[in-house]
A and B are shown apart, each in its own frame.
Chain A
Amino acid sequence: MGVNSVTNACAHLQNASRARLGLTSLPNNKYNLRLALALHRAGFVNSVTRAGPHPPPPETLLTFEPEPVTNMNVATRRLWLGLKYWNNEPVMRKVTPVSKPSRLVTATLDELSRVSRGFPAGHLKGLNLGECMFLSTDRGVLEVREALERKVGGLVLCRVS
C-alpha cells in the first residue's frame, strides 16, 4: 500500500479547507478511507460518504445509502468528506504530510510518547497546541494518542492542526 495517495489527500484537504468548500472528495481506496475515518474520529471532518462522481445530496449525507461497490462501478467511486468550519475558520487549518514515497518516517512507542508531550524525537518535532498526528499501524490508521493507548508505533502519515 503506497503512501502516495495519503500525501496527495493531505494537500487536497488543506486546499479544499482553505477554499472554504463544504464537501470535497478523495479517490476511493483503503488508505484514504482509513485516514478519512481517523480524521472523522478526531473531529476534523463532518462526514465520510462513499458515492459516485457526483456528490450525494447534502441533506441526505447522514442517512445516505451508498450503492454496493461492484466491479462495474468501483472505478468511479469516491470518498466524499464534509469539511468543518467554526467561527469563520476551518477546523482543519493545516494538513502536513510527513511520510512521502521517497522517505517513509516511522516512530517507535518511546518517540511517540515524547512527541505527544510536545518534545522533539528523532526527525519529528513535538506536537503544538491542538495538533494531531496520524500514524499507519498494524491496527489501522490511528491518531497518536490512540496509538499510545494501544501501545503501537508505526508509519507517520501526517500532522493536522
Chain B
Amino acid sequence: MSAARPAVRSLFSRHLAAAASAAASSTTAAGAPVRPAVIAAAAVTSAQSPSCHHQFHSSAQLASRRRPRFKSVRAEEMGLVSEKKVQEYSDKTFPRYTGDEMAALAEQYSPAQLAALEAGEAAIDPRDLTIQGRLRVDPYRMPYIDDFAEIQPIIDRRPRKQPPPDPNARFMNLDEFTEDLIKWADQFQPGPVTGTLKKLTDFVPKEYRKKPEGQWPGPVRTRAREDFAMYIQEAASKPPADPDAAASGPTDADVLEYILERSSMTDGNLTSNSSLAPALPAKIPGVTGLYKNAIDPADEGLDDTGIYQELKKRTNMTVREIINTRAKLLVTRYVTNQTRLGKIRSTSILFVAGNGNGWLGIGVAKSVEPSAAAQRAKMLAIRNMQPIRRYEDRTIYGNVEAKVGGSVVRLFTRPPGFGLRVSHRIFEMCRAAGIKDMSAKFIRSRNPLNTVKATFDALVNQPNPEEIAIGRGKKLVDVRKVYYGGAVH
C-alpha cells in the first residue's frame, strides 16, 4: 500500500479532516468508534511512508518527481496585493528624488531641463509602474530602461553624423577646379605663410572681378590669361627660398588621396552618409589590402595564384607541405536540387588527406562545378587533419566500432606483416594515415559516404590504454619487444 498516490493521499486527508471534526464535535455519533481506527491506520501509513521507499543510491532524486509540500496559495490570501504592500513596494523600488539629488541635478541641468524632468516624474505614477509595469530581470533584458546615452549597434539605427548630400552640387567648372586645387595646394605651403597664390581674377580690372569670366570683354580676358600664365611660369621657375621646404610639399600619398578621394563636385568636399553621392573609390576599413595577392617568397613559387594562402594561415604548414599531403578523392555523389526553374545538378565530393605519418582528415564539398568541389573538399580535408593514435606506428589500438547512419564499421587490430585487408576506401584512408596492419568489416549498410565517415570516427576514437590504466589505478607496461633484444615481430 502506497501513500504516495494522489487518490489515496486525498482519501486519507479527507478521512483525517472528517475524523478531526467529528472528534471535536462529539464522540457519541454512531460512526465514532470506527473512525479512530481509520485515523490510526492512516497515521501509521503516513508515518511509515518515507521509510518504505529506500533510496538505493546516494544521488539526489529528480526534481520532477517531487510534489510541492503545500498547495498553492493565492497572493491575495497572503496579503501581497494589499494597498499597503503595493505602496511599500513602489516607495522602495521607484523612490522620489530626494532634496540632495535634486540639488545635484540642478547643478547639471538648466532650469528648463529640470522643469521637464520634474514634469516627466510627475506624469508617471509609481503605483502604475508597480501594478502594470514589469521590470525585467531575465538575462536578455536591456542593459538600460530608457537611457539612450549609448548607441547599441544591434538595437539602434546607424547614426548619421554627416549632413545630407548637397542636392544642388554639380561638377566643378575649370575655374572652380583651379580654385579648389590651389586651396588644396595651399595646405602644404611650408614655413610661415607668405600669402596665397594669385588667381585669374587678380589680373583683371576691379570692375570685372565680381563678374564671371564669360562676361569679361575679349581683350580683357585674353590679357588676364596671358598675365596669369606668365605669373604661374615665374612662380614655378623661381627657386625655392628654402630647399627643405621644397622637399616637404605634398607627398605621393597626398597626391593619390587628392586624385582618388577629393570630391570633384561643388559640395565643399564634404562626405555624406547617403548612397546617392558616394565617394567612388570606397576605401572600406577592414577590407583594404585583403585582396592583394602578395606572392610570398617562402612559397618557392609554388603558389602564384594564391589558392593555398588561406590554408597556409590556418594550418601553419608551408605550401610545399600542403602540396605533398596525400589527398585522395574517395566519394563522388551527383545531387540535384529541384527548384521551380528546374533541376540544379551539383557534385558532392569527399576527399581524404593525410601526411602518411599519423595524421588524417576528411573534407566534403559540393558545387555545381566538379573541379571546384574537388578543390574545396581537398582543402577542407587538409584543414581537418588530426592525429590518429597508432600502435607501433603500424596498426590501431584494440578493436573499434563506429556508426554513422546505417553504416557500422568494425576495425580490428592486426599483427605485424598482416597488411591492409580492408575495402578500397578504408585502404586509402589507412595509407593516408600511415596504418599498415588492419582489417575491417562493414556489418550493415555499405553506403560509401557513411562508411568513410564512420571509419574516420572509429580511427579518431580509439581507446587509450594509458587512460584506462590510470582510471583503474594500474601501472601499464608494454612488454612487446622486451625479450630477445626486441628482435621479434
Q: Which residues of B contact A78 (CB under 8 A)?
A: 56
A24 touches B463 (CB 8 A): no
When chains A and B are docked, how far (Å) is the Cα of A121 from the Cα of B413? 18
Residue from A55, A91, A129 in contact with B472 in the complex, judged by beta carbons closer than 8 Å:
A91
Q: Which residues of B contact A84 (CB under 8 A)?
A: 471-472
When chains A and B are docked, how far (Å) is the Cα of A42 from the Cα of B468? 12
- Tell me whether A58 is interfacial, beta carbon within 8 Å: yes
B471 touches A129 (CB 8 A): no
Among residues 27 to 73 in chain B, which have CB atoms less than 8 Å away from a CB atom of chain A? 54-59
A21 touches B399 (CB 8 A): no
A25 touches B463 (CB 8 A): no
- Tell me whether B131 is interfacial, beta carbon within 8 Å: no
Interface of A is mostly: loop
- Tell me whether B398 is interfacial, beta carbon within 8 Å: yes
Q: Which residues of B contact A86 (CB under 8 A)?
A: 467, 470-471
B58 touches A22 (CB 8 A): yes
B57 touches A25 (CB 8 A): yes
A130 touches B57 (CB 8 A): no
A25 touches B472 (CB 8 A): no
B463 touches A53 (CB 8 A): no
B463 touches A129 (CB 8 A): yes
Q: Which residues of A contact B59 (CB under 8 A)?
A: 19, 21-23
Given A43-B474, A128-B398, does the pair A24, B57 have CB atoms closer than 8 Å? yes
Q: How far is the CB of B96 from chain A (nearest CB, A)?
A: 54
Q: How far is the CB of A82 from chain B (nearest CB, A)?
A: 9
- Tell me whether A87 is interfacial, beta carbon within 8 Å: yes
A130 touches B465 (CB 8 A): yes
When chains A and B are docked, how far (Å) is the Cα of A25 from the Cα of B413? 37
B56 touches A24 (CB 8 A): yes
Given A87-B467, A129-B463, A129-B465, does the pair A43, B58 have CB atoms closer than 8 Å? no
When C-beta atoms are compared, the residue in chain B nearest to A126 turns out to be B399
- Tell me whether B397 is interfacial, beta carbon within 8 Å: yes
A-B contact count (CB 8 A): 53
When chains A and B are docked, how far (Å) is the Cα of A25 from the Cα of B55? 10
Q: Digit string of B457-489 for contact with A (CB within 8 Å is 1, else 0)?
A: 000000101011011111000000000000000
- Tell me whether A44 is interfacial, beta carbon within 8 Å: yes
Q: How far is the CB of B98 from chain A (nearest CB, A)?
A: 54
Among residues 21 to 68 in chain A, which have CB atoms less than 8 Å away from a CB atom of chain B? 21-25, 42-44, 53-55, 58
B55 touches A91 (CB 8 A): no
- Tell me whether A124 is interfacial, beta carbon within 8 Å: no
A25 touches B468 (CB 8 A): no
Q: Digit string of B279-318 for contact with A (CB within 8 Å is 1, else 0)?
A: 0000000000000000000000000000000000000000
Q: Chain B interface residue count: which class?
A: 10 to 19
Residue from A44, A54, A55, A130 in contact with B463 in the complex, judged by beta carbons closer than 8 Å:
A130
Q: How far is the CB of A58 from chain B (nearest CB, A)?
A: 7
- Tell me whether A16 is interfacial, beta carbon within 8 Å: yes
A42 touches B472 (CB 8 A): yes
When chains A and B are docked, how far (Å) is the Cα of A41 from the Cα of B471? 13
Q: Which residues of A contact B57 (CB under 8 A)?
A: 16, 21-25, 55
When C-beta atoms are compared, the residue in chain A nearest to B56 turns out to be A25
When C-beta atoms are compared, the residue in chain B nearest to A91 turns out to be B471
Among residues 104 to 124 in chain A, which have CB atoms less than 8 Å away from a CB atom of chain B? none
Q: How far is the CB of B283 from chain A (nearest CB, A)?
A: 50
When C-beta atoms are compared, the residue in chain B nearest to A78 turns out to be B56
Query: Which interface residue of B413, B470, B473, B474 has the most chain A CB atoms within 10 A?
Result: B473
When chains A and B are docked, how far (Å) is the Cα of A153 from the Cα of B200? 117
B470 touches A55 (CB 8 A): no
Given A129-B397, A129-B465, does the pair A43, B56 have CB atoms closer than 8 Å? no
Given A54-B54, A54-B55, A129-B463, does the pair A43, B471 have CB atoms closer than 8 Å? yes
Among residues 133 to 176 in chain B, which have CB atoms less than 8 Å away from a CB atom of chain A? none
Among residues 392 to 412 in chain B, which have CB atoms less than 8 Å away from a CB atom of chain A? 397-399
When chains A and B are docked, how far (Å) is the Cα of A121 from the Cα of B473? 29
A23 touches B58 (CB 8 A): yes
Q: How far is the CB of A150 from chain B (nearest CB, A)?
A: 19
Q: How far is the CB of B458 from chain A (nearest CB, A)?
A: 13
Among residues 85 to 99 in chain A, which have CB atoms less than 8 Å away from a CB atom of chain B? 85-87, 89, 91
26 inter-chain pairs at a CB distance below 8 angstroms, sorted by A residue, are A16-B57, A19-B59, A21-B59, A22-B57, A23-B57, A24-B56, A43-B474, A44-B472, A54-B54, A54-B55, A55-B58, A58-B58, A78-B56, A84-B472, A85-B471, A86-B467, A89-B471, A128-B398, A129-B397, A129-B398, A129-B399, A129-B413, A129-B468, A130-B398, A130-B463, A130-B468
The 3 A-B residue pairs with the shortest CB-CB distance, nearest first, are: A129-B398, A43-B472, A86-B471
Given contacts A54-B55, A91-B472, A129-B397, list 18 more A-B pairs with CB under 8 A.
A16-B57, A19-B59, A21-B57, A21-B59, A22-B58, A23-B57, A23-B59, A24-B56, A43-B473, A53-B54, A84-B472, A86-B471, A91-B471, A128-B399, A129-B463, A129-B465, A129-B468, A130-B398
